[in-house]
A and B are shown apart, each in its own frame.
Chain A
Amino acid sequence: AQKVTQAQTEISVVEKEDVTLDCVYETRDTTYYLFWYKQPPSGELVFLIRRNSFDEQNEISGRYSWNFQKSTSSFNFTITASQVVDSAVYFCALSGGVDSSYKLIFGSGTRLLVRP
């Protein structure tokens, strides 16, 4: 069975601090996809990144970076120099390949509060 665990329910930091959101996944698929989404208070889910299981390269996009490690089944998300606008709920999600119709399995989310 597939499962995504976000153990951090809520994180509070002061602006300009770095913060890492943890994500651990379980799957038996050899091909899978990992995602991070941001959900601001307005409710919509904003796509941040997708990684394929065969590509373990870490990625950096501005203040955001992602660390994908298959050996530990983790896909952690780091925000550098956090800002108040980063306050939101962040979801990690896992999608299997064609055999599972690419359905997304979500973690329970981590609420990030960035204080001025």
Chain B
Amino acid sequence: DGGITQSPKYLFRKEGQNVTLSCEQNLNHDAMYWYRQDPGQGLRLIYYSQIVNDFQKGDIAEGYSVSREKKESFPLTVTSAQKNPTAFYLCASRSSGNTIYFGEGSWLTVV
């Protein structure tokens, strides 16, 4: 089935650790995005990538890093510099018709 796959669904991070959230899509979309959602709030853009080997910071990029080595993959690393990483993370990709589709999300909790 075509779609966006995020893993893991649930992740626990200890203080001072880096963790990486995976996002894979088989929709052949060029553009991909990472959003963060805090409880009871809307989504905020962390990073986005329009094409392979290129990415730009969004509104809340501090403490995060990404790579885009393959069209299908856009992993997000939450570094120890992110002081409040507990949140729901959503990956998305954009179709040629400019519709943005989302994966099922990953819950990250700091323990």
Task: Point out residues on A near B: beta carbons under 8 Å.
Answer: 33, 35, 37, 42-45, 47, 50, 91, 95, 101-104, 106-109
Flag if B104 contacts A43 (CB, 8 Å).
yes
Q: How many residues of B contact A (CB 8 A)?
A: 26
Flag if A103 contacts B102 (CB, 8 Å).
no
B32 to chain A, nearest CB (A): 11
12 A-B pairs in the complex with CB atoms less than 8 angstroms apart? A44-B102, A45-B90, A45-B92, A47-B99, A50-B99, A101-B31, A101-B56, A103-B58, A104-B92, A104-B100, A106-B43, A107-B42
Q: Which residue of A lies closest to B42 (CB)?
A: A106
Which one, A33, A43, A102, A109, contacts B88 given CB within 8 A?
A43
Flag if B42 contacts A47 (CB, 8 Å).
no
Q: Report the Cα distance A45→B31, complex, angstroms.
A: 18
Q: Mark B8-25, 1 if CB is under 8 A from A, else 0.
A: 000000000000000000
Q: Tell me which residues from 12 to 69 in chain B have a Cβ below 8 Å from any Cβ of chain A.
A: 31, 33, 35, 41-45, 48, 50, 56, 58
Q: Report the Cα distance A102→B95, complex, angstroms.
A: 11
Which B residues touch A106, using CB under 8 A? 42-44
Main SS at interface, chain B: strand
Flag if B33 contacts A103 (CB, 8 Å).
yes
B98 at the interface (CB under 8 A from A): yes
B98 to chain A, nearest CB (A): 6
Q: Report the Cα distance A95→B42, complex, angstroms.
A: 15
Q: Report the Cα distance A34→B58, complex, angstroms.
A: 19
Which one, B98, B105, B107, contacts A95 given CB within 8 A?
B98
Q: Mark B85-111, 1 if CB is under 8 A from A, else 0.
A: 000101010100111111111010000
Which B residues touch A42, using CB under 8 A? 104
- Among all A-B residue pairs, the 5 with the closest Cβ atoms: A106-B42, A45-B102, A44-B104, A106-B43, A108-B42
